[in-house]
Amino acid sequence: MTLRLANKELTPPVVLAPMAGITDRPFRDLVSSFGAGLVVSEMVASQEMVQAKPGVRERAELSADVENTAVQLAGREATWMAEAARQVADQGARIIDINMGCPAKKVTNGYSGSALLKTPDHALTLIEAVVEAVDVPVTLKTRLGWDDRLLNAADVARRAQDAGVQMVTIHGRTRCQFYKGHADWAAIRSVTDAVDVPVVANGDITSTETAQMALELSGAAGVMIGRGAQGKPWLLAQVSHDLYGTPVPTIPQGADLIDMVQRHYHAMLSFYGADLGLRVARKHLGWYMDEAGTAAPLRRTVLTSRDTEEVTRLLADALIQSEKVAA
């Protein structure tokens, strides 16, 4: 159940996906506390990182002693990508991931993210620059292709491997699909057949059953879980236990669940400051309350209150209403 990158081992091969505005340090730390082979930061724009734009460094902030953390970089110029990689490696990043999968228009309009699938020769210059800039393993996350007429993930992955990339993650959709339809895990097999480095399957993996199916259809060495972990930070550990026999996670319920969510809430307030922390926390609190089946009026009060003490107090009632067992 070990996925090897050079001298590093990812055990188990269940990875937290990079998600913009979600996989910040507080959430990564929480997921890691239950158990995950690797957690990946939200995408960091390389040029903004180097130029120290407000808020960017925070997205890449790492605990230096957290072994299973990767930082994902995005960009369109080799110089900025290389320098950003050097900076985050100096800050403690153990793995650098290159984003060639983000479908957002604000990213692709800048010829970054999945837009690089349309210019693989240029994409290769970015990959080579990052690999040459750092001593830590470099990985790549991308999609099946730009659209149904340009399904070039296998060729891109093969060239990336030749340039020194040590793991490739494939989201089983094209860029033009965004998140519509269902991820095509079977289509990922063309990539696993094309390269010798580990391939990780991503897209619509929300349970042990979907993780098992993705592994079987793709032939991948591991899975990456994104939206499925929203409101369920223990999900990766649960999948790891079910598939690989790792220790069974203790899924918090009742008072333990309230305590976990309150601690996550205050970790966000501490990390971002009260004003920004309040806004960032709302999405996470919303997902927790979705899982708990919180009544709409109370849910609305929790998400609109600007009084942190009131939110902390109300969370106890909001999370204990459910008779549903988290899983």
Residues with active-site annotation: 102
Q: Is 1 annotated as a binding residue?
A: no
Q: Is 227 annotated as a binding residue?
A: yes
Q: Is 266 annotated as a binding residue?
A: no
Q: Is 37 annotated as a binding residue?
A: no
Is residue 144 classed as helix, strand or coil in its secondary structure? Answer: coil
Q: Is 20 annotated as a binding residue?
A: yes
User: Using an 8 Å Cβ cutoff, are 220 and 168 in contact?
Assistant: no
Q: Is 263 annotated as a binding residue?
A: no
Q: Is 283 annotated as a binding residue?
A: no
Alpha helices in 6-116 (DSSP H): 25-34, 46-50, 56-60, 78-90, 105-108
Q: How many CB atoms lie within 10 A of CB 80?
A: 21
CA distance 284 to 232: 10
CA distance 205 to 142: 16
Is residue 199 classed as helix, strand or coil in its secondary structure? Answer: strand
Q: How many CA atoms lie within 13 A of 241 on its CB side?
A: 13
Q: Is 19 annotated as a binding residue?
A: yes
Point out which residues pair with 201 in neighbouring strands.
170, 223
Q: Summarize the annotated binding site for FMN as residue ranges.
A: 18-20, 72, 141, 171, 226-227
Q: Summarize the annotated binding site as residue ranges.
A: 18-20, 72, 141, 171, 226-227
